[in-house]
Amino acid sequence: MFKSYSQTRLAKPHLTPPIDEAPMPASRIHRDIYPNAFSISGIAVVPSRNQEAPGTPFYGTGLRLAGALVAQLMAILSLVLVFPATIYAQTGKLNDTGIATCANAASNNVPCGYADGDTYGFPRQEAEYGRTAKEAALTAASLTKTGASDANSKGFDFSKVQYSNGTIPPAVTTLGTGTSWGCTKDNVTGLTWDMKVTTASNARLNTNTYNWKSGLAPSNGGVSGVTGEASGTTCFSSTCDTEAYIAYINTLNICGESANDWRLPTRLELMSIVDASKQGTSAAAVDATYFPNIMPARYWTADNLAGNPNEARIVNMGSGIDGTAPKSSLLHVILVRP
């Protein structure tokens, strides 16, 4: 009946969710409060990606810990920590989902907009709140943007960044070097994304795939991954694993970067550019104007899988759903900074 998404969301940020919110399965490890925060297996966490204004902090649920559970929590912390390859400061801000339609008892994708917010007898639906609702004119408030977004990706706010640095007009569509388009900045999260290209001889080719590799312990979970071997069908030159690819990109000073801080995104960072309104199509579930060459395929994140460091967390950019894969897998990569 309702649109599914790999993160359970509340229709509007809550400090305390309704008591009947369905808990996450105890068999999975979640990191849904902040991407670099630890996760606790079996504790109900019901996050939301909604926010009422740009920069609104992300609120998840309280962890519903009774006094007796605190002692158990402390005892198991060392077993369930999930680390990204490197620890980074968090922005504290997340995008909305992009969903701009509601659901009734029979179907999805029906118009929203009841004044009392009780659409079709199902109150507080995702599309009736947050940035998406403001841009879709479902609320009295309008949405002010620094940049723009595709007409079909409501609530997002992106700017194009010149390869040699500096913001460029949205009308520029040529990806390349020099004064061409090189990166996309997310004005809500503050993250800047390296753009993929379609030039076969370029290391940033969108169809290239890589093994997961990081020599940074203990954040790699004790398993560094796999050193990639050059293959003209999967990568460029010797950049066939994520560590080598990141090192190479950090030599290029793309979009004015000089701090060598391009990196793999965390799972939640990568999911922040997913437009859930585009799930179920043949294209990638992203803003096609600002991320034109993203493949509808699996992409690596920096996060290990808790309990099995031979695997890392991934996001399928076609379905918008997260998962895991062995570090020896050949998957796609998009880098981010800071």
Are residues 226 and 328 in contact, defined by beta-carbon separation less than 8 angstroms?
A: yes
Q: What's the residue count for the chain? A: 338
Instruction: Give alpha helix (H) positions in 168-293.
Output: 242-249, 267-271
Q: Could you count the other beta carbons within 10 Å of the beta carbon of residue 229?
A: 11
Distance in angstroms (rounded) separating the CA atoms of residues 300 and 277: 22
Q: What is the pLDDT of residues 195-251, one digit of tens each?
A: 999 988 888 999 999 999 999 888 899 999 988 876 555 787 778 899 999 999 999
Closest CA to 12 of 81, 91, 97: 97
Residue 264: what pLDDT? 97
The better pLDDT of the pair 48, 265 is held by 265
Residue 228: what pLDDT? 81
Residue 1: what pLDDT? 42
The better pLDDT of the pair 19, 106 is held by 106
Strand order in the sheet with 167-168: 167-168, 158-162, 181-186, 192-194, 336-337
Q: Is the peptide bond before 338 cis (omega within 30 degrees of 0)?
A: yes
* Main-chain dihedrals φ then ψ at residue 313, nearest 5 degrees: -80, 145
Distance in angstroms (rounded) separating the CA atoms of residues 277 and 282: 13
Q: Is the peptide bond before 47 cis (omega within 30 degrees of 0)?
A: no
Are residues 246 and 68 in contact, defined by beta-carbon separation less than 8 angstroms?
A: no
What is the rounded average pLDDT for all residues in the chain? 74
Q: State in Å, rounded, how far the first CA of the chain is from the last one.
A: 38
Q: Could you count the other beta carbons within 10 Å of the beta carbon of residue 43?
A: 17
Residue 150: what pLDDT? 86
Q: What is the pLDDT of residues 285-324, one digit of tens each?
A: 999 999 999 999 999 999 999 889 999 999 999 999 999 9
Q: What is the pLDDT of residues 1-34, one digit of tens each?
A: 434 334 333 333 333 333 333 333 333 333 333 3
Distance in angstroms (rounded) separating the CA atoms of residues 26 and 18: 19
Residue 86: what pLDDT? 46
Q: What is the pLDDT of residues 178-193, one digit of tens each?
A: 889 999 999 999 999 9
Averaged pLDDT for residues 167-174: 87
- pLDDT bucket at 36, cuts 50 / 70 / 90: very low
Closest CA to 3 of 132, 114, 92: 132
* Main-chain dihedrals φ then ψ at residue 205, nearest 5 degrees: -55, 130
- pLDDT bucket at 112, cuts 50 / 70 / 90: confident
The better pLDDT of the pair 176, 58 is held by 176
Are residues 268 and 35 in contact, defined by beta-carbon separation less than 8 angstroms?
A: yes
- pLDDT bucket at 117, cuts 50 / 70 / 90: low
Residue 27: what pLDDT? 32
Percentage of the chain lying above the pLDDT 90 cut: 38
Q: What is the pLDDT of residues 254-273, one digit of tens each?
A: 998 888 899 999 999 999 99
Closest CA to 336 of 113, 13, 35, 33: 35
Distance in angstroms (rounded) separating the CA atoms of residues 114 and 98: 19
Distance in angstroms (rounded) separating the CA atoms of residues 192 and 174: 18
223: tokens are 């398993």
The better pLDDT of the pair 280, 69 is held by 280
**pLDDT at residue 98 tops 60:** yes
The sign of the dihedral angle between the CA atoms of 83, 86, 87, 89 is negative
Residue 35: what pLDDT? 37
Distance in angstroms (rounded) separating the CA atoms of residues 287 and 195: 13
